[in-house]
Amino acid sequence: MDENRVIIFDTTLRDGEQSPGASMSVDDKVALALQLERLNVDVIEAGFPISSDVQFEGVKLVAAKVRKPTICGLARCIDQDIDRAAAALERAARPRIHTFIATSKIHMDKKFRKSEAEILEMAIKSVTRARGYVDDVEFSPEDSARTGKEFLFRIIEAAISAGATTINVPDTVGYSNPEEFGQLIREIFERVPNMRKAILSVHCHNDLGLAVANTLAAIRNGAQQAEVTINGIGERAGNCSLEEVVMALKTRESFYRKHTAIKTDEIVKTSRMVSKVTGMIVQPNKAIVGANAFAHEAGIHQDAMLKDRTTYEIMTPESVGWGDTKIVLGRHSGRHGLKSRLQDLGYNLGKEDLDKVYERFLKIADKKKEVFDADLEALVGDEIQDFSEAFMLEYFHILSGDKVLPTATIALKHKDTIIQDASVGDGPVDAAFKAIDKIINSPVKLIDYSLQALTGGKEAMGEVHVTIANNGRKFVGRGASTDVIEASIRAYLHAHNRLLHAGSKSESEH
What number is the average pLDDT over the span 440-454? 89
- 157 compared with 110, residue with greater pLDDT: 157
Task: Determine the Cα–Cα distance for residues 361 and 215; give it in Å rounded to an integer.
Answer: 43
What number is the average pLDDT over the span 306-317? 74
- What pLDDT, on the 0 to 100 scale, is given for residue 1? 66
- What pLDDT, on the 0 to 100 scale, is given for residue 329? 66
Task: Mean pLDDT check: name the lowest of 83-97, 116-130, 142-156, 294-308.
Answer: 294-308
pLDDT band at 298 (very low <50, low <70, confident <90, very high): low
Task: Determine the Cα–Cα distance for residues 139 and 130; give it in Å rounded to an integer.
Answer: 10
- What pLDDT, on the 0 to 100 scale, is given for residue 449? 93
pLDDT band at 300 (very low <50, low <70, confident <90, very high): low
Helices (H), 308-454: 335-344, 351-367, 373-383, 428-440
Judge contact between 45 and 72, C-beta under 8 A: yes
- What pLDDT, on the 0 to 100 scale, is given for residue 361? 84
What number is the average pLDDT over the span 343-372? 78
Q: How far is CA 326 from CA 292, 293, 322, 373, in A?
A: 14, 15, 11, 8
Q: Residue 493: enclosing H or E segment and its boundaries?
A: helix 484-508
φ/ψ of 478, rounded to 5, equals -140, 150
Does 347 score more than 80 pLDDT? no
What number is the average pLDDT over the span 402-412? 94
Name the residue ranges covered by the structural domains of the chain. 7-278, 294-323, 324-384, 391-508
Model confidence pLDDT, tens digit, residues 174-218: 999 999 999 999 999 999 999 999 999 999 999 999 999 999 999
Q: Strand 70-76 and strand 225-228: pairing?
A: unpaired
What number is the average pLDDT over the span 54-76? 97
pLDDT band at 395 (very low <50, low <70, confident <90, very high): very high
Does 326 score more than 50 pLDDT? no
Q: Strand 417-424 and strand 404-414: pairing?
A: antiparallel
Fold of the 7-278 domain: TIM Barrel (3.20.20)
Q: Domain 391-508 is of which CATH architecture?
A: 2-Layer Sandwich (3.30)
What number is the average pLDDT over the span 259-265? 97
pLDDT band at 366 (very low <50, low <70, confident <90, very high): confident
Task: Count Cα atoms within 13 angstroms, Cβ side, for 507.
Answer: 6
User: What are all long-range contacts of 58-61, with beta carbons under 8 Å and residues at least 24 apart?
Assistant: 58/13, 58/24, 58/26, 58/29, 58/30, 59/85, 59/88, 59/89, 60/87, 60/88, 60/89, 60/90, 60/91, 61/26, 61/29, 61/30
Percent of the chain with pLDDT over 90: 63
Does 490 score more than 90 pLDDT? yes
Does 446 score more than 50 pLDDT? yes
Q: Is 482 helix (H, G, I), strand (E, B) or coil?
A: coil
- What pLDDT, on the 0 to 100 scale, is given for residue 144? 96
Chain mean pLDDT for the chain: 89
- What pLDDT, on the 0 to 100 scale, is given for residue 327? 40
What number is the average pLDDT over the span 40-53? 96
Percent of the chain with pLDDT over 70: 89
Judge contact between 398 and 411, C-beta under 8 A: no
Q: Is 421 left (phi over 0), alpha (psi -120 to 50) or beta?
A: beta
Task: Determine the Cα–Cα distance for residues 364 and 256; give it in Å rounded to an integer.
Answer: 46
Task: Mean pLDDT check: name the lowest of 36-50, 124-138, 380-394.
Answer: 380-394
What number is the average pLDDT over the span 354-361? 86
Task: Mean pLDDT check: name the lowest of 113-117, 158-162, 255-259, 378-382.
Answer: 378-382
What number is the average pLDDT over the span 491-502? 90
- What pLDDT, on the 0 to 100 scale, is given for residue 510? 42
pLDDT band at 358 (very low <50, low <70, confident <90, very high): confident
Does 305 score more than 60 pLDDT? no
Does 8 score more than 50 pLDDT? yes
Other CB atoms within a 10 A radius of the CB of residue 366 amount to 10
